[in-house]
Copies of this chain bind each other. A is one copy, B any other.
Amino acid sequence: MATLKDVAQKAGVPILTAYHALSDSQPVDAPQKQRVIEVAAQLRYRLNITLRDVSALANVSVATISYVLNNSAPVSPQTRRRVLDAIDALGYRPNITARNLKTARSRMIGYAWHNVYAWRKVADGYVNALLDHFLYSVTLAAEACGYRLLIFVEPPDDPVSAYEELINTNRVDGFIISGTNQDDIRIRRLLDLRFPFSSFGRANDSWDFAYVDVDGAQGIESATSHLLAQGHHNVAILGWPEGSLSGDARMRGYGSAFAAAGKTPNKAWIVHTTNSIHHAYEETGNLLSMPEQQRPSGIVCFSDTMAVGAMRRIEDEGLRVGVDVAVTGFDDDPIASILRPALTSLQQPIDTIAAQMIDLLMAQIDGQPLPNHRIMLAPELIVRDSSRTPYRG
């Protein structure tokens, strides 16, 4: 394949002129332009600026250009200037694919986008704009490090295969994982393969890997304490089935809030159910049908989804949310501020989570040691009308 220099020489014009003629980026004397275009056609040359063209124009070797570009070797100021000018004049952009092949890096981070159908079906009205925001923050944090995100779908029956495929074909340098569970097979596999990743959420505590998580215990404790401080004596909790890491931690937060207030919760106030509007609705019905002395006037929920179900049931029972029964959620989904009354919720610091996860991932990709790779962040309680009014029962 001919180079830009070949074309320029054969047409008897400077390299830059040939470039302008071919790229239309600057006006060129008509007959010259004509000649350049003819020569290019003859040599079957298609304009495509590479290192070699820059090196020809700047009269330095390709290595020097690479050094300037990557700061990988000292270059004299004059040479650097000349290189930079040539790059600018030709509008050169390095071919990432070639660089990746050489460096055996892809500068890509894999992230599995959730299956919309799956959660629509499983959770009948599951609400979660969190991942939406999370994706944005992770993308931004990754771009700041020169990485981009590759989105893929995890086949529900075999989530690991997609990860292996991406690794084996050198598509990505690392993964961001979310929606973890106790014995997460994705984490298990990546750990076995010693492939870089960081996760939003913990898993099996005996595994040693990089994660960022939100302190659910602390969050639920603050929500529970908030309701107790508002004068509610009977505060119930709508949680997930026992046995999940995050669920059990959150449930402990409920206990500590009571302990701190010198109280003990009624066993019947502690509900374990599925994370769905429907189940929360049903369980709230049970709570509200308790004898008056024991009936909860406050309900702490593990998610905004559940809080929606609780609120709806409270209203259907002819009670007023925020007046007769206070409710708090978790996640601070945009829906929380849209609901009427607006829902008190625990806001997750998504931007910080994303930034920290990328930090942890970059360190692994660059082979640096990971001192603190188990990061816990505190959620912030955003108080709204669903729990703002002090209770006088």
Q: Specify the chain B residue showing the minimal Cβ separation from A308.
A: B338
State whether A133 touches B153 (Cβ < 8 A). Answer: no
Cβ contacts A313-338/B at 8 Å (1 or 0 each)? 00100000000000000000011011
Residues 133-156 of chain A, each 1 if its beta carbon lies under 8 Å from chain B, else 0: 101110110010000111111000
Category for how many chain A residues contact B: 35 or more
Interface class of chain A by DSSP:
helix
Complex interface: chain B residues within 8 A of A261 (CB): none
- Pick from B98, B125, B137, B153: contact of A334, CB under 8 Å: B125
- Residues from chain B with a CB closer than 8 A to the CB of A97 are 97, 100-101, 106, 170
A86-109 at interface with B (beta carbon < 8 Å): 91, 93-98, 100-101, 106, 108
Q: A93: nearest residue on chain B (CB-CB)?
A: B168
Query: Are A120 and B168 also in contact (CB < 8 A) when A115-B136, A143-B152 are?
Result: no
Q: Residue on B with the closest CB to A337?
A: B125
Give the CA-CA distance A94 to B101 in the complex, in Å: 12
Q: Which residue of B lies closest to A140 (CB)?
A: B153
Q: Are A171 and B151 in contact (CB under 8 A)?
A: no
Residues 2-31 of A, flagged 1 when their CB comes within 8 A of B and 0 if not, give 000000000000000000000000000000
In the complex, whether A195 has a CB less than 8 A from a CB of chain B is no
Is there a chain B Cβ closer than 8 Å to A258's Cβ?
no
Q: Is B152 a contact of A139 with CB atoms below 8 Å? A: yes
**Cα A312 to Cα B337 with chains together (Å):** 13
Determine whether A372 belongs to the interface, using a CB cutoff of 8 Å to chain B. no
Write the nearest CB–CB distance from A290 to chain B, whole angstroms.
24
Q: Give the distance in Å from the alpha carbon of A125 to the alpha carbon of B335 in the complex.
A: 8
Instruction: Judge if A40 is at the interface, Cβ distance under 8 Å.
Output: no
Interface mask (A64-106 → B, CB under 8 Å = 1, otherwise 0): 0000000000000000000000000001011111101100001
- Please tell me if the beta carbons of B96 and A170 are within 8 angstroms of each other in the complex: yes
Q: Known contacts being A115-B136, A338-B277, is A93 close to B125, with CB within 8 Å?
A: no
A window 45-81: CB within 8 A of B: none
Does A370 sit within 8 A of B, measured CB to CB?
Answer: no
Nearest first, the 10 closest Cβ-Cβ pairs linking A and B are A93-B168, A96-B169, A149-B151, A116-B136, A97-B100, A97-B101, A116-B133, A101-B101, A95-B170, A97-B170
Given A93-B165, A108-B150; 10 other pairs, CB 8 A cutoff? A93-B169, A97-B101, A113-B136, A115-B136, A116-B136, A120-B334, A139-B152, A148-B150, A148-B151, A148-B171
Task: Offer 25 A-B interface pairs, CB within 8 angstroms, sorted by A.
Answer: A91-B168, A93-B169, A94-B169, A95-B101, A95-B169, A95-B170, A96-B169, A96-B171, A97-B100, A108-B150, A113-B136, A116-B132, A125-B338, A127-B335, A127-B338, A129-B129, A132-B132, A136-B153, A139-B151, A148-B151, A151-B151, A277-B338, A308-B338, A312-B340, A335-B338
